Structure 1
Amino acid sequence: MSHPAGPPAAPAVCVRHPDRPTGLACTRCGRPACTDCLREASVGYQCVDCVAEGSRGVRRGTTVAGARSAGRGRPVVTFTLIALNLLVFVVTIVQARSVLEVDRADLFDEWVLVPGYVAQGEWWRLLTSGFLHFGLVHIALNMVALWMLGQQIEPVLGRWRFLATYLIALLGGSAACMLFYPVNGGVAGASGAVFGLLGAYLVVLIRMRLPVSMIMPTIFINVVISVVVPGIALLAHLGGALAGAAATAAIVYVPRTNRTALQTALLGGLTVLVVVLSVLGAARFF
């Protein structure tokens, strides 16, 4: 004896969109889901909730400095520093009305590192002098070096660590000038910071157990140029290189436990140290 069929079952609906009937389901949790809420998986399709839950359990890779090794993107800090240097150079050209004599610009006069002026309280010159350049060749060489080194180092250190290393190297070069240069000497340029990146690159290669031969020819050429070419602040380059290497060592050799806090404390301590050295240099003139 046959029985009349019951009413047809209601179609399944997406758990996230109840107004959307669907015949699909997540292969992980089995819940019905529409095409907008499914993502392709190694086997079948998973809903967005299961995908998000799975992602939370995946450990992200990091570099020796603690920066994310995946999806690091472009070296934004490097490009920003180059843009700032170029902007300052354009301003000095406009003020001086000359490409060859930019040191006549008012901004150059206010920002250049003169140890005697710093000793009188104009401490901003320790930092601002690193964004000034004496001419096209000067800024071109520094910016090309910054671009080449920044693309290698910034992804390894991460953005804020790279910026801190750059600025500490810049201040390290200024501290060397304060300690050893005459009261009325004028120093400008990003060379100290660039040499700091050379020191940083060397430390990174050693930490990653890569051949230092990758960077030694570049270091040798830059040292020779600093010695042979007149008018180059060799001690500023040396101070920047030592400061940059020290900052990078503080970043890549700290233990993983509380790494970010330790890095911040060590970089802060190095910043204080180079400033104190600058103060000691200023004390020579009293």
Structure 2
Amino acid sequence: MHAPAETLRFERMTDVLRRTPCTTLWLVAIWVIFFVELITHAPGNQAMLMRLGALPVTGIVHGQYWRLLTYALLHSAWWHIGLNTLGLWICGPVVERALGPRATLVISVAGAILGGVAILLVHHNGPASIELGASGALFALLGAGLVSTWRRPGISLSSYRRLRAILIVGLAISFTPEVSMAAHLGGLASGMALAWMWRAKAALG
């Protein structure tokens, strides 16, 4: 007997998650934190989001540099976490297959942190508000994925084209209100730079 289609899809999904532990870690982390947000009624409540680790664009509060990472685990709404989940699900496995889980973890965390730094540099004179979301990490993985799939043997051209399409859509979204272009570009630049370094190191043996 053939296994039901639903069972096969589930098995394929779990296999992907086992082979991409960094992507899985990010997805589990942001969804666990999002449910904490829902329980505490944090979405739309800046005071509660600050307590959970959001990043104030006016500057780091009392040396709380950990906010440069924790803000990336928070999301403002279902659509926000949904878009980042989709992006991580597509970009993360590409990078993990090309560079490995350790490099993927370093790139994604660096993208989140440098995206946060870019937010502070660009928006520090703006009105008091907060930033949150995993898009800095996502754009870092997107940049790393583009570098990793560019004319690389064994990587399908469709993967590169898919990432390129996400980049175009992501940059278009960056121009919408309440979306930080700085975080996206900061993450993208860091991801591309780190991926080039990893590729150069691998080429040298």
**C-alpha distance in 2, partners of 1:236/1:216?**
18
Q: How does 1:125-164 map to 2 (within 5 A)?
A: 125-164=67-106
Q: How does 1:36-55 map to 2 (within 5 A)?
A: none
**C-alpha distance in 1, partners of 2:68/2:62?**
13
Q: TM-score, normalised by structure 2?
A: 0.80
Q: 1:215 matched to which residue of 2?
A: 163
Q: 1:81 matched to which residue of 2?
A: 26
Aligned Cα root-mean-square deviation (Å): 2.2
C-alpha contact 1:92 1:106 (8 A) present in aligned 2? no
| Secondary structure of 1:133 counterpart | coil
**C-alpha distance in 2, partners of 1:213/1:155?**
16
2:176 is aligned with 1:232: no
Q: Partner letter of residue 197 of structure 2? A: A
Greater RCO (CA < 8 Å, at least 6 residues apart): 2
Q: 2:197 matched to which residue of 1?
A: 250
**C-alpha distance in 2, partners of 1:127/1:136?**
20
**C-alpha distance in 2, partners of 1:195/1:256?**
24
C-alpha contact 1:134 1:189 (8 A) present in aligned 2? yes
**C-alpha distance in 1, partners of 2:60/2:123?**
12
**C-alpha distance in 1, partners of 2:49/2:162?**
36
C-alpha contact 1:130 1:189 (8 A) present in aligned 2? yes
Q: How far did 1:256 drift?
A: 5.1
Q: 2:10 matched to which residue of 1?
A: none
Q: How far did 1:185 drift?
A: 3.1
1:207/1:114 CA distance change after superposition, 3 Å: farther
| Secondary structure of 2:130 counterpart | coil
1:201-223 deviation digits (Å, cap 9, x = unpaired): 11112261665544322211111
Q: How far did 1:155 drift?
A: 1.9
Question: Of Structure 1 and Structure 2, which has the larger fraction of its residues in helix?
Answer: 2
Q: Partner letter of residue 81 of structure 2? A: I
Q: How far did 1:165 drift?
A: 0.6
How many residue pairs match? The answer is 182
Q: Which runs of 5+ in 1 are unaligned?
A: 1-72, 260-286
The percent of aligned pairs where both chains have the same amino acid is: 28
